[in-house]
Amino acid sequence: MISDIRLQHFRSYNDAAFEFGPAVNIIVGPNGSGKTNLLEALLVVAQGSSYRVSDSDLLQFGAEWTRIDAHTNDSALRTMKLRTEAGIKKSFEIDEKQYQRLPAIKRLPVVLFEPDHLHILNGSPEGRRIYIDDILEQTKPGFTSFRKNYKRVLSQRNALLKHHHAHKQDFFPWNLRLSELGAVIHRARTELLDEFTTRIEPLYQELSHSKTEVTLRYESRFPTDTYESQLLHTLETNLQTDVERGFTSYGPHREDFAVFFGDTPAPLIASRGEIRTVTLGLKILELQALQAATGQKPLLLLDDVFSELDGARRRALTAYLTDHQTFLTTTDADIVVKHFTSSTIIPLVEQNIHQEIDIN
Q: What pLDDT digit, counting tens, does each position of 120-141 carry?
A: 998 999 999 999 999 999 999 9
> Region 174-201: what's the mean pLDDT?
97
Question: Which string of b and e fits 312-337 if b means at least 16 CB within 10 Å?
Answer: ebbebbeebbeebbbbbbbeebeebe
Residues 6 or more apart whose CB falls under 8 angstroms from that of 14 comprise 8, 60, 351, 353
> Region 110-122: what's the mean pLDDT?
89
Domain ranges of the chain: 1-108+298-360, 121-295
Query: Where does the chain have alpha helices with state H?
Result: 35-47, 125-139, 143-161, 168-208, 227-237, 239-245, 266-269, 272-294, 311-321, 333-337
The DSSP element (H or E) to which 112 belongs, if any, is: strand 110-113
| Cβ 192 vs Cβ 289: under 8 Å | yes
Q: How confident is the model at residue 308, as a pLDDT?
A: 78
Q: Sheet of 77-83: strands edge to edge?
A: 13-19, 2-10, 65-72, 77-83, 89-94, 97-99
Domain covering 1-108+298-360 in this structure, CATH number:
3.40.50.300
Task: Name the burial class of residue 360, with classes exposed (0-12), middle (13-18) and buried (19+) by CB atoms within 10 angstroms of its CB.
Answer: exposed
| Residue 350, beta-bridge partner list | none
Give CA–CA dist 178/232, Å, rounded.
8
pLDDT band at 86 (very low <50, low <70, confident <90, very high): low
Give CA–CA dist 138/291, Å, rounded.
10
Nearest CA among 276, 272, 300, 265 for reference residue 286: 300
User: Residues of the chain with pLDDT > 70: what percent?
Assistant: 96
* pTM (predicted TM-score): 0.85
Q: Which CATH superfamily is domain 121-295 in?
A: RecF/RecN/SMC, N-terminal domain (1.20.1050.90)
Nearest CA among 147, 59, 74 for reference residue 106: 74
Residues 6 or more apart whose CB falls under 8 angstroms from that of 319 comprise none
Give CA–CA dist 268/215, Å, rounded.
14
Q: Residue 145 CA to chain centroid, in angstroms?
A: 16
Q: What pLDDT digit, counting tens, does each position of 246-272 carry?
A: 999 999 999 999 999 999 999 999 998
